[in-house]
Structure 1
Amino acid sequence: MSSSSAAPGRDEKTEAGTAKPPMREALIAAAFQLFLERGYEQTTVDDIVALAGVGRRSFFRYFPSKEDVVFPDHERCLADMTAFLAASDEEHEPVRRVCDAARLVLGMYAENPTFSVQRYRLTKKVPGLRAYELSVVWRYERALAEYLRGRFAGRRDGTLQADVIAAAVVAAHNNALRSWLRSAGKSDASAGVDHALGYVQSTFGVTPAAHPVPDGPADDVVVVVSRRGAPLWRVVQEIETTLGRD
């Protein structure tokens, strides 16, 4: 969902003279109030629009389903991530680039810690929301993998590398993110995610970027036979002799 659809473009005034929240935000607030009071399954779209003081058509103008009101900003964040990766060039180290892209997701959660923590707790209780969340996570992972596949095109196992690294980035990011959410948003989210993504960069960032696997047929395999119990220096000498080194 693009940011351009986030608000209807007009703020009504209350009798006290203060501005009402944009309709989209009012629907989200009403939905979560009811989810917390009644439970997710017991709350209907009709309940949400009644509390928000709008009609059903207004709800579906912003949210295709009740599940979407729980995850209102993921479409925008996914679009931002895709644009960020599309703006990359050859100077960007690819593993670091996808780690930086993952930080955009953290930024979305950190914008409103209270809402993020409430959503986390709600999602844990409702299997349908958990499944929906997993589908959203898969879309992030696919965006990262598609970028890496483009950067690793032509390499042996380039697609495999891309898919493994994308999965590792998502797993590391989500591990740190859930730790922050379990702390009710009180721990340092940025530090946790930086630490987790740093592990991914140290594991995958150097070899794929600086030392790509060469294309074409593999190098010859050299087998050296040495007597059992031979000293290590003798084994090394035999290897060097076989390879033709001085």
Structure 2
Amino acid sequence: MAAAVSTGDDAKPTMRESLVQAAFQLFLDRGFEQTTIDDIVSLAGVGRRSFFRYFPSKEDVVFPDHEGCLVDMTEFLHTAPLDGDPVAQVCDASRLVLRMYAADPLFSVQRYRLTRQVPGLRAHELSVVWRYERALAEHLRERGADRADGALRADVVSAAVVAAHNHALRTWLRAGGEGDVQAAMDEALGYVTRAFSPAPPLSGGSVDAAAGDALAKAPAAPMDRVTPVDGEDEQVVVMLARKGTPLWQVVRDVESALGQ
């Protein structure tokens, strides 16, 4: 357990790190339920008061790094540029959690396996995940305060980020920490940014004023216009949508027009 609970191979572990190391040694040897706080402090060579100075409960010693990561995430979002894309910002914030796990694959995999075995730890982990999700949603809510659907969008996007993040992370953990988790995370979060981030500008600059007016006045649903292509039997569906139309609605309308 190096990066997550230690300052380095040559550095003497702090009391907090010693407690985590002792706890996991006992959890792996005896099992979580069979290990008591007295067992942990005895192996670590400290008193019970020292344990509770750092950890409110035995469950908290399994997640020693999440509080610091939550602080880092909150600070990251607080200092994010005001003119940036909020969706991309919350995706980047979630990568701080990945960085924490990837810093020590052995510890992360051991914790994952232990959490799967103990229902109480799973419930504790879900409460931690909820706090991350709330931090992301709060940032999106602040940046989308001028939108009528700001609160709903914030909750939906933050939940999507967490789902994408957890998919990539847990797939990596189930594989024993093997594989390129960074690439897997980029792929998973890419779904979120493509679905919810503003569409990039057209290449070559913005459209002319007449075209812009036409797009602004166009309905979100597809137009009833189908034209043949070069005399072939194939047809092309031309659809105009308002700027900012959700991607899911565009896809739905295209599928409807194609009869799929």
TM-score per shorter chain, which class?
0.7 to 0.9
Counterpart residue number, 1:167 = 159
Change (3 A) 1:203 1:54: same
1:52 aligns with 2:41: no
Going from structure 1 to structure 2, the CA distance change for 1:51 and 1:159 (only over 3 Å counts) comes to same
Of 142, 150, 155, the match for 1:150 = 142
**Paired residues for 1:4-83 under 5 Å:** 20-83=12-75
The one-letter amino acid paired with 2:105 is P
Alignment-derived partner of residue 85 in structure 2: 93
AA in 2 matched with 1:71: F
Q: Which runs of 5+ in 2 are unaligned?
A: 201-216, 228-260
C-alpha distance in 1 between matches for 2:219 and 2:138? 33
Q: What is aligned with 2:255?
A: none
For 1:135 and 1:21, locate their aligned partners in 2 and report how far apart those are by CA, in whole Å.
28
Secondary structure of the structure 2 residue equivalent to 1:40: coil
**C-alpha deviation, 1:89, in angstroms:** 2.5
Residue 20 of structure 1: how far off its partner (Å): 3.6
- The change in CA–CA distance for 1:92 and 1:57 in structure 2 (over 3 A counts) is same
- The amino acid that maps onto 2:84 is H
Q: TM-score, normalised by structure 2?
A: 0.73
Mapped to 1, the partners of 2:64 and 2:95 lie a distance apart of 18
Deviations 1:81-137 (A, max 9, x none): 000000012221111000000000001111111110000000000000000000000
Written as runs of structure 1 = structure 2, the 5 A alignment for 1:186-225 is 186-206=178-198
Residue 158 of structure 1 deviates from its aligned partner by: 1.1
* Partner Cα separation in structure 1 for residue 100 and residue 155 of structure 2: 24
Q: Match of 1:241?
A: none
2:118 maps to which residue? Answer: 126
Counterpart Cα distance in 1 of 2:177 and 2:159: 25
**Superposition deviation, residue 19 in structure 1:** 5.7
Call closer, same or farther: CA 1:177–1:19 in 2, change over 3 Å: closer
Shift of 1:199: 1.1
One-letter code of the match for 1:159? A
Aligned equivalent of 2:168? 176
TM-score (norm 1): 0.77
* Aligned position for 1:113: 105
Query: Which runs of at least 4 in structure 1 moved beyond 4 Å after TM superposition?
Result: 219-222
Rounded Cα–Cα distance in structure 1 between residues aligned with 2:39 and 2:126 = 27
SS in 2 for 1:187: coil
Change (3 A) 1:155 1:35: same
The residue identity in structure 1 corresponding to 2:76 is F
Deviations 1:12-61 (A, max 9, x none): xxxxxx76421111110110010011110000000000111111111111
Task: State the SS of the aligned residue for 1:90.
Answer: coil
Aligned-partner Cα distance in 1 for 2:97–2:84: 20
Following superposition, the deviation at residue 232 of structure 1 comes to 4.4
